[in-house]
Amino acid sequence: MTLDPSYLEYPRRRLGYDHDLYDWSNIHARGPVAWPGGAKVAVWPCIVAEFFPLTPADRPFRAPGHMQTAFPDYRHYTARDYGNRVGIFRLLDALEARGIRGSVAMNVAVAERAPALLAAVRAGGHEIVAHATDMNGAIDSSLPAEEEEAIIAGTRARWQALGEEPRGWLSVARSQSWRTADLLLAHGFAWMADWPNDDLPYRWRNGIINLPLNHELSDRQIINVTQAGSDSWAEQIGDAAAWLADEAARQGAGRLLPLQLTPYIIGLPYRVGALERLLDLLRSRGDCWFAAGGAIVAEWARQQPG
């Protein structure tokens, strides 16, 4: 069997990428970034607060972590709800005890349903990152344009009704369509965290900035998917910090260490101690700058103007 020659023809095939969203870039060849206080690594704590409806949407796809057994799946529903009732407060307390401010990527439905949780996030001085409407608000290129815009615009409007104007966006499952970045800009978002293909922020051609939230370092991936223990998760993050700091020193340029925290995973009582020990380790290094996503983006953009 032979292929028709047209099968291999693609008008955008060229060196670099086969798209025009952003340029290929070698991290070692870019202008250096210097984090405040001479830090080598910007540590971005990002708590993910999610609401999983009891009836999952399979269009365009079922979000990771969603309901799994026959309806009504109370077992997974309440396990996820544990994160917003109990686990997240342990994470907020761990950050507060160490004077750390970070981001909370929150489904707006969580804030609407749990105003006391939103108040706790605000009281801790943490940044709100818009994380769609709820975990049925997934996006991909099969979703009609008007439905995708309704998710993004609706999320913005509902946050505004709560008195918030988030500038950052995290998609459900980090999934986008080819339209997403343009729609985010059109509806007031300046940066997103969906594309984990770097160790520093970078700018797209349309002007939006991507702040990589590396899913390989997330508690969901390491603990739930690879089935590693919480101490192993903490050790791997510590190893990543050491490697990034050494690379930053050799290259003369800062690096980014995202720290994604899922309340119903790392917030469990037999795991949260590993998080506290990790935070203490990172603080003791003396070369880490803890900051919210928006602060990291702003500092990077100040040094890397478009």
How far apart CA 107 and CA 162 sit, in angstroms, is: 13
How far apart CA 269 and CA 183 sit, in angstroms, is: 40
* In contact, 155 and 121? CB cutoff 8 Å: no
Residue 142, exposed/middle/buried by CB under 10 A (0-12, 13-18, 19+)? exposed
Tell me: pLDDT of 59 over 90.
Answer: yes
pLDDT band at 84 (very low <50, low <70, confident <90, very high): very high
Based on DSSP, count helices (H) and strands (E) in the chain, helices before strands: 11, 9
Residue 146, exposed/middle/buried by CB under 10 A (0-12, 13-18, 19+)? exposed
How far apart CA 186 and CA 179 sit, in angstroms, is: 11
- Which one-letter amino acid corresponds to residue 86? V
Question: Beta strand pairing status for 209-210 and 202-203?
Answer: antiparallel
Say what the pLDDT of residue 1 is: 59
SS3 201: coil
Say what the pLDDT of residue 141 is: 94
Count of beta carbons in the 10 Å neighbourhood of residue 39: 20
Q: Per DSSP, which regions of 139-278 are E strands?
A: 168-169, 191-192, 202-203, 209-210, 255-261
* In contact, 249 and 40? CB cutoff 8 Å: yes
- Which one-letter amino acid corresponds to residue 239? D
pLDDT mean over 198-226: 97
First-to-last CA distance in the chain?
49
Q: Which CATH superfamily is domain 33-303 in?
A: Glycoside hydrolase/deacetylase (3.20.20.370)
pLDDT of 285-298, one tens digit each? 999 999 999 999 99
What the block records as the tokens of 3 is 């292929």
Length of the chain, in residues: 306
Say what the pLDDT of residue 241 is: 98
pLDDT of 94-129, one tens digit each? 999 999 999 999 999 999 999 999 999 999 999 999
Tell me: pLDDT of 209 over 90.
Answer: yes
| 1 or 162, which is more confident | 162
How far apart CA 223 and CA 229 sit, in angstroms, is: 6
pLDDT mean over 16-45: 93
Tell me: pLDDT of 15 over 80.
Answer: no
Say what the pLDDT of residue 41 is: 98
pLDDT mean over 37-57: 98
Residue with tokens 């919480």: 230
Q: How far is CA 140 from CA 60, 179, 210, 272, in A?
A: 7, 9, 18, 33
Tell me: pLDDT of 183 over 90.
Answer: yes
Domain-wise residue ranges, the chain = 33-303
Average pLDDT over the chain, rounded to an integer: 96
What the block records as the tokens of 115 is 């105003």
| 15 or 27, which is more confident | 27
pLDDT mean over 155-169: 98
Say what the pLDDT of residue 18 is: 84
How far apart CA 234 and CA 223 sit, in angstroms, is: 10
* In contact, 294 and 105? CB cutoff 8 Å: no
How far apart CA 112 and CA 99 sit, in angstroms, is: 27
pLDDT mean over 183-192: 98
